[in-house]
Amino acid sequence: MTRREMIALASTATFLRAKDAPTAPVAVARCSSYEDDLLGTLAKMFDQLGLNKTVANKTITIKLNLTGSPGLRFQGKPLGVTHYSHPKTLAAMIGQLDRAGARRILMVESCWASAGPLEEYMLDSGWNVRSLQSAASRAKVEFENTNALGKAKKYARVKSPGTAYIFPSYELNPAYVDTDLFMSMAKLKNHETCGITLSMKNCFGNTPASIYGDDAGVDEPNEAPMKGRVNVCHFGKRQPARIALPEIDPNSSREPGYRMPRITAELNAARPIDIAFIDGIETVAGGEGPWIKGLRHVKPGILLLGTNGVTTDAVGTAVMGYDPRAPKGTAPFRNCDNTLLLAEALGVGSADLKRIEVRGLPIAESRFAFEV
């Protein structure tokens, strides 16, 4: 039975039992610098997971992690060594997908306070867009800002199977649906509200600000959004534009530590991750970006790759020195519910390390404590 079939099965019941949640292997590799042979490392990880046949002749949509304004930098460092996806890991991933025979590679992100071209946002972030385009010799390389409708004609509605937590469905840019495989390219880092932000939390940004943003329209989307999703998603102070369905229970908790993990879990149930990639070569600890007090620059020197968001994030959480099944009130989920367990209950994947095969570097040899 495939992962998608398992998720569909979850619709017949409220939640799956933990032992019934699907599992998948996770590859872990040592990579101490962005000057290392990233392409060679990814090639080995692809072999460990059998991904070359999976991506051959496919369209792969890659959700980047470009959180926050390009003008916000931590200690003046390049964005890619702190809280952004790094252009060199992306170029290596494009190169490996191209080697494996991918037909089309589409990079997407819901750019902060912008509905303009993703390429311009990347240039503002100090990226060499042409080098990304030239990283593939055969595959077509494209870019899309999913903060609004963009080039598309109609939003795509995706629904969490089974019993959803906050919203019954989500309206997304169709780039997330009109693809063969969806990849979440994340950073290994903490999150002030959710404790961790890895491949699943990266998908929080799948939601277009045109519909779920603070300046979204009331009836119709605002196709030129300039604000984030705090009022709709974090605090529930307003509903999304009426093109989307309102939340299930307007009397539920308005606390971000309750809402954000649940929104993340059901987004991943509605649009599952097919390939999860986590960059832990250089990153930040203590939060998700420069606006968080007490942020620290760290160098774990680790890369993770998997085919299930929950299993990959569970291994990533363990690599960070945490228990992936930790309850609310304990690190890293001190002020929030555990997103991994919420997604597991929806049948997305297993957060039980005993059920997850780690290929390559063992967790014990890759662990890097993110707590001071």
Whether 372 maps to a domain, the answer reads: no
Residue owning tokens 């460990």 = 48
pLDDT given for residue 1 in this prediction = 33
CB within 8 Å of 259: residues ≥ 6 apart: 166, 233, 234, 235, 236, 252, 253
pLDDT given for residue 4 in this prediction = 39
pLDDT given for residue 259 in this prediction = 98
Whether 165 maps to a domain, the answer reads: yes
pLDDT given for residue 17 in this prediction = 74
The CA–CA distances, whole Å, from 101 to 38, 161, 188 equal 18, 32, 28
Chain-centre distance of CA 76, in angstroms? 25
Whether 247 maps to a domain, the answer reads: yes
Whether 149 maps to a domain, the answer reads: yes
- The C-alpha atoms of residue 239 and residue 241 are separated, in whole angstroms, by 7
User: How do residues 331-357 score in pLDDT, each as one tens digit?
Assistant: 999 999 999 999 999 999 999 999 999
pLDDT given for residue 16 in this prediction = 64
pLDDT given for residue 15 in this prediction = 57
User: How do residues 133-145 score in pLDDT, each as one tens digit?
Assistant: 999 999 999 999 9
Pairing of strands 59-63, 26-30: unpaired
Whether 144 maps to a domain, the answer reads: yes
Whether 178 maps to a domain, the answer reads: yes
Whether 322 maps to a domain, the answer reads: yes
pLDDT in tens, the chain (372 residues): 334 334 333 433 345 678 889 999 999 999 999 999 999 999 999 999 999 999 999 999 999 999 999 999 999 999 999 999 999 999 999 999 999 999 999 999 999 989 999 999 999 999 999 999 999 999 999 999 999 999 999 999 999 887 899 999 999 999 999 999 999 999 999 999 999 999 999 999 999 999 999 999 999 999 999 999 999 999 999 999 999 999 999 999 999 999 999 999 999 999 999 999 999 999 999 999 999 999 999 999 999 999 999 999 999 999 999 999 999 999 999 999 999 999 999 999 999 999 999 999 999 999 999 997
Range of the structural domain that residue 338 is part of: 3-366
Whether 152 maps to a domain, the answer reads: yes
CA torsion, ordered 329, 334, 336, 340, to nearest 10 deg? -90
How many domains would you assign to the chain? 1
CA torsion, ordered 48, 50, 52, 53, to nearest 10 deg? 170
